[in-house]
Amino acid sequence: MSVIELDRGQTVAAEQRSPRLSFFRTLRFRLVLSVALVHAVLMGAFVWSAVNKQSEAIRAELHNRAHSLITLMAVASTNALLAEDLGSLAEVTERVKQQPDVTEGAIVDVRGDVLASTDPHQVGHRLPAPPDGVAVPRRNRLRLHEQIRVAGQRVGTVFLEMSTRHLKSELAATRNEGLLFILLALVVGSVAAWVLSVLITRNLYTLMAAVRKIGGGNLGVRVDLQARDEVGLLGGAFNAMAESLQRISDQVRSEHEKRTDAERLACVGELSASIAHEIRNPLSAVINSVKLLDRSNLPVSDRAQAIAILNTESLRLQRILNDFLDFARIRESRLLEDDVCALIEEVASLIRQNPQAVAVRVEVECDVCPCRARHDPDHLRQVVWNLMLNAVQAMPEGGNLHVRVERAGRIVRISIADNGCGIPDHLLDKIVRPFVTGRKHGTGLGLSIAQRILMQHGTSLSIVSHVNVGTEISFDLEAV
Amino acid sequence: MRIDPSWVQDMFQLIRRLQSVLCWLTAIVLIAVSGAAVARRPHYLRFGVLPLQSPTMLAGMFLPLTDALQHALHRPVQFVTAPNFAAFMRRVQRREYDIIYLNPLLYTRARRWGYHVIVKVAGEPFAGILVVRRNSPIHALGPHVLPPGLRVGFPDPNAYAATIMTRQYMETLGIHVNRDLKVKYFGSQDSALMAVYYGMVGMAGTWLPSLRSMPPRVQRELRVIAQTPPQPQMPIAVLDDMPAHETDRIRKMLTHLTATAGGRMVLRHLGFSRGFVVAHNSEYDGVKP
């Protein structure tokens, strides 16, 4: 029985995530408990019954002995009683006294006068005549009496008292022996149950360990159970399941790779088409302007216009290429714990100095200041800059730009809202893609860059926009 | 409300006195009750029977009689015998028995200690007998008939019919018991008869009631070879301090036993089929050892 690991990846993590089972809730403990209990109950009943029978036998033996003795005593003393032969009667009681457990014996005539007794002080005294054949219960004593009858008439009574101390000590010894047997049975039963439970559950524990490893992502785990019982069948089913899971997982991974490759190719094609589309117009303008400038008879005013177009379009081409390079060269974020309010105030100041924002009223509102969050300051500065610049450009006639920083538990939410022209609905879903823009001279890379940076922070943009009403873009950072 | 301390003290004293009075009353009541319980115990009339036979056999014979006496007297009667003749007579001397049944000779001694006869066994003459085994070669008594050194058994030296009368009878026939025979005493009539039955002795002295009380198989094996001349029958005597009305009631009851079926049953147990008749002291004046 063993666990065969084909891949050890993430097994430990999976085991750590598994809930720890209390010993008292384990199958092993319950099995031990139930077997031990059944064992104890059965043995208890058996021993109790045996002890009872033995006790009854001991009691019966004492009673029989007492009855035999008193009968013998009555027979032996009849003649002497009739003859009031006190010497012979004393001899009878003396002999009776020598019997084990006898504490008292007395021979009484028909009047109730004690003619002989093991206690000499009783002789000559009178005793009441009790009913015949009744054993009178007394503490640690068994007291019997039997009438002596001749020709159907009572001529006297014989009393016999026997100590039950020996009987009780024997009963106590029997009971203690019984208790010892029960205890022994309990111990032996528990040990046997423990061994049995270990044999039964060890394969289950192996299976449990394998399941945990599979839960941790290690689909290569297999169990090797030698058992030929239900657990063995379960192990086989488990191996078949793991085999199937691994096969399906491989298929999924292969298809995912294929789909990713296809998406990547499509993205490259789309990006290439976008780049080509973006640079085709200014490049055409540049080529046409160069052709015009090549004419010798070109009027001066047209030449100047061609040169102006050439400058404008080449600058546009340069900007497109720079933005694309920025998009392509975004480095990995280095997250620090720092105040975001100060950073946003700093960006807001730069925006206010931007000529495009002359007619825009920029407001920054921080709920908590300083408001510390995990972020890369350079990247966050670029994100906020891009978003605020987009907002300003969406309000060419002026408007309000409202930046709000608020903390809600473990999250810092930054939202940038404007009352500009808004984003058309058909662009809203794909506005964060490269080269998708709603503005005539926009490159369509600002939001893409912001989205890529925020994805490295483990978050993304959330955009709510209504045409001619305004746009609010927000994102969350992890508060510290 | 204020309570006067002296009043409280008086109350305590009163309670203590009441307690002591109650204790005394309780003690008096207990003593009275226990005294009454003692007084309620019946006084037994003790009927002493000479140990002619084994106590159990005597009990079998006389217990029906004592039972009948109980019913007649409305008071309990205890049958009792003694280990031997001597012990019996010592108790008679100590007046331990209220009623006695004994032989005529011992009765003459009992008279000295305050007993007087009221009835005697009726009908059958009081005589001793000599018994041998049925297959014994002895058929008659005579000076030279008995084999020399013959072993003879008697119940007790004081057994009047069985010992004294039979010995006197043999002496009158010229048999010197002490010289010609070997005498052995067995304590009771039964024992002497059983000694003959088992061949321990060649001959035994006894009397007819004892022979009749033996088991039939024993009786069949025994044979009477001689009977002594009769003497006054076995008496029943009572103590002189017994109230006269009680004595009369006992006498009446004993002499009327033959008149009722129950009485006849009692007599059958005793072996005295003719019952008892009234007897007087003078009848025993001639009885001598």
Query: Which residues 413-442 in chain A show a CB within 8 A of chain B?
Result: none
Strand duo A114-117 + A102-109: pairing: antiparallel
Tally of CB atoms within 10 A around B169: 20
pTM, to two decimals: 0.53
| Paired tokens of A245 | 């899971």
Q: Where are the domains of chain A?
A: 330-479
Of A78, A84, A152, the CB nearest to B82: A84
* Predicted pLDDT of residue A306: 87
SS3 B231: strand
| A29-78 per-position pLDDT tens digit | 888 888 778 877 888 888 888 888 888 888 888 889 999 999 999 999 99
pLDDT of B179-213, one tens digit each? 889 999 998 899 999 999 999 999 999 998 889 88
Residue reference for tokens 């662009």 = A427
**What is the CATH number assigned to the segment(s) A330-479?**
3.30.565.10
Of the candidates A156, A163, A133, the one whose C-alpha atom is nearest the C-alpha of residue A145 is A133
Q: Do B63 and A150 touch (CB under 8 A)?
A: yes
Q: How much is the average pLDDT of B15-40? A: 61
Compute the nearest-CA separation of A108 from chain B (Å). Answer: 13
A205-217: pLDDT as tens digits: 888 888 888 888 8
Is the bond preceding A370 in cis, omega lying within 30 degrees of 0? yes
Which one has a higher pLDDT value, B1 or A182?
A: A182
**Number of C-beta neighbours around residue A254 at 10 A:** 10
ipTM reported for the complex, 2 dp: 0.71
- Tokens for B120, please give them: 């005697």
Distance in angstroms (rounded) separating the CA atoms of residues A117 and A115: 7
Question: What number is the average pLDDT over the span A391-398?
Answer: 90
Backbone angles phi, psi at A116, to 5 degrees: -155, 145
Helices assigned H by DSSP within A2-26:
11-17
DSSP character at residue A229: S
Q: Is the pLDDT of residue A17 over 70?
A: no
Task: Kindly state the tokens that stand for B115.
Answer: 């007993």
Indicate the fold that domain B45-124+233-284 takes in CATH: D-Maltodextrin-Binding Protein; domain 2 (3.40.190)
Query: So what's the pLDDT on residue B202?
Result: 95
SS3 content of chain A, % helix, strand, coil (to 5): 55, 20, 25
**Would you give the distance in Å from CA A54 to the centre of its chain?**
53
Residue of A nearest to B67 (CA): A153
Give B-chain residues touching A80 at CB under 8 angstroms: 55, 83
Where are the domain boundaries for CATH 3.40.190.10 in chain B? Answer: 45-124+233-284, 128-227
Cβ-nearest to B80 among A84, A126, A151: A84
CATH code: domain B128-227 is 3.40.190.10
Residue A326 pLDDT exceeds 60 = yes
Residue contact B59–A85, C-beta within 8 A:
no
Mutating which of A78, A115, A150, A154 best tests the B interface, going by the most B Cβ atoms within 10 A? A150
Average pLDDT over residues A386-413: 92
Residues of chain A neighbouring B56 (CB-CB closer than 8 A): 78-79, 82, 150
| Cβ-contact B263, B257 below 8 angstroms | yes
Q: Closest Cα of chain A to B206: distance in Å?
A: 20
Task: Tell me whether residues A151 and B64 touch, CB distance under 8 A.
Answer: yes
Q: How many residue contacts between A and B have a Cβ separation below 8 Å? A: 57
Average model confidence (pLDDT) across chain A: 85
pLDDT of A203 above 60: yes
Burial of A40 (0-12, 13-18, 19+ CB in 10 A): middle
